[in-house]
Structure 1
Amino acid sequence: MAIDQNINFSASATDIPFLLLPETDSLFLNRALRLRNLAPGHAMEAYLRFMAGVANAQHHAMASISQTGRPTAVPGQPPLAIGSVERDPAWQQVLRQIADEVSGMAPEGFSTRLQHLLSTASSSDLESWAQAYLDGDFTGSDIGIMPLVAASLQVYWAALTRQLQDVPVEARHAGHPSRLCPVCSSPPAGSITHAGAASQGLRYLVCSLCSSQWNMERIRCVSCGDSRQVSYYGIEGTAGSIQAEACDACHVYTKIMHMEKDPALEILADDLATLSLDILVGEAGYQRYGLNPLLLTEPELAAAE
């Protein structure tokens, strides 16, 4: 099945690249390394180490995932839109592979439950979990497995982006909000400002699912687009490299990370390690826009913190 939709890697006639697809060979390995480096002495050390193990398992799964079928693009929608891609069963094998690899690292109570869930779950159950995650429904009794479901879907969608490397994608789709990923239509985990080369100082939103990055101007609310009522919050210990961009127009915030101040930053890892910033901004009356699937947890996992 061919993707006949054009991908325009520039948002305009400028040389600024609009879309950056993930480097799938190193994506999860870099995340695992960053999580391990952030863990020592951290208040959430055990949980960061566990998530480093999950990221390492994702790296192994990415290397072994079977070739996924190329989805057919739906006109007017992103090429890998979560609402139109028919999932290949390969993602289920990724879930089981990741779970097998990390089960020995998880807290005992959670590990036992995880093995029970997967040993009794049918293919239909797994698809229901996946759909619940993609729909943003985190209210079910199986929320504890959601970080691993999300990890598996991240591997699957990142693998799909390999098929777009040489295929032109439109920077904008009619009616598609700029706050959602132009590749898969998922919300961002946050944003980063790049350092070096052609993207020095440019801000990119980072997809929480496929890990693609898309350009958005700085000092503009990711949620509502306002640029007049934006302010920034920070915490000690980050040297200004990680901030919360808060908007008084819609009372929403997203995190922004500056690689020119810390080239080692990794969006999901550093987000997880700076929950004190989320608490600070939340107490100031702002709600978060975006998603970090590493934060979906329950008491068994939280106890590891």
Structure 2
Amino acid sequence: MLKTRAIAMFRGLLAGLALVAVTASAAGTPPTLRVMSFNVRLMPADDGVNRWEARRDLLVQTIRRADADVFGTQELFKEQGDYIVAGLPQYAWFGRGRRGDDGDEHMGVFYRKDRLRVVESGDFWLSDTPEVAGSITWGNLFPRMVTWALFERKSDGRRFYFFNTHFPYREQDGEARTRAAALIAQRLAKLPQGVPVVVTGDFNDVPDSGAYRALAATLQDAWTTAPRRSGPEATFHDFTGKADRRIDWVWSKGLQVRRVQTITDQRDGRYPSDHFPVLAEYRWPAL
């Protein structure tokens, strides 16, 4: 009987030591932050087999599998944002439409309610009058904007800024895209030092463009700096699955990118959007 008790006590001691070792190891590992950029494609009536109603469940499934802590969307209408959180109630979303109300495209920001809380948030427009909702300058056809937030992790109080945007798309909009990137860089320069920053968006431009260089002066491109990459480099595929341009970028400052992935989920040759979403995983700096 005594021998049996001694064996049980010894096994209990080993289990306790193992638990301490695992806890210590976890405590010594910097936590991660999963970030995604996703142009979800608006809802034109002439999309045919690729209309929103035909692809929305696949889009929700794609987001669920990605399991991002936070992600920025482009071309999002309120109906789409509400459908996403109805299917994924672990997320909440916010953002104004680009004309200042809910009747147009949003730069909707989605975040896991159980992991993050919003400390503050806002919008500004990519124009000569950034605080004027719906303002258009620089030859743009439509208002262009940024939706941003300061997030705090519920588990440990770590904070980071998140900016999400969508640049103009025409070939002749190169100067406008460069000016938009410069305005974002100016805003980032005014943020408190030491707080990490993440920027997501559909930038409608290619690396080595003026817009790219304006952002690369202070931020790191996840695709070029990650030690591990998967999926195609290009992101816009027009529902074909064969992308030809890398126009969706994820940037950061103050975080270490571990891996980045271009997500190519599809079902029977149909895709959730005409863009591949980009998912980046970051490691926080040690405290």
Q: What TM-score, normalized by structure 1, do the two folds share?
A: 0.27
Whose radius of gyration is greater, 1 or 2? 2
Structure 1 or 2: more helix by fraction: 1
Structure 1 or 2: more strand by fraction: 2
- Report which structure shows greater RCO (CA 8 Å, sep ≥6): 1
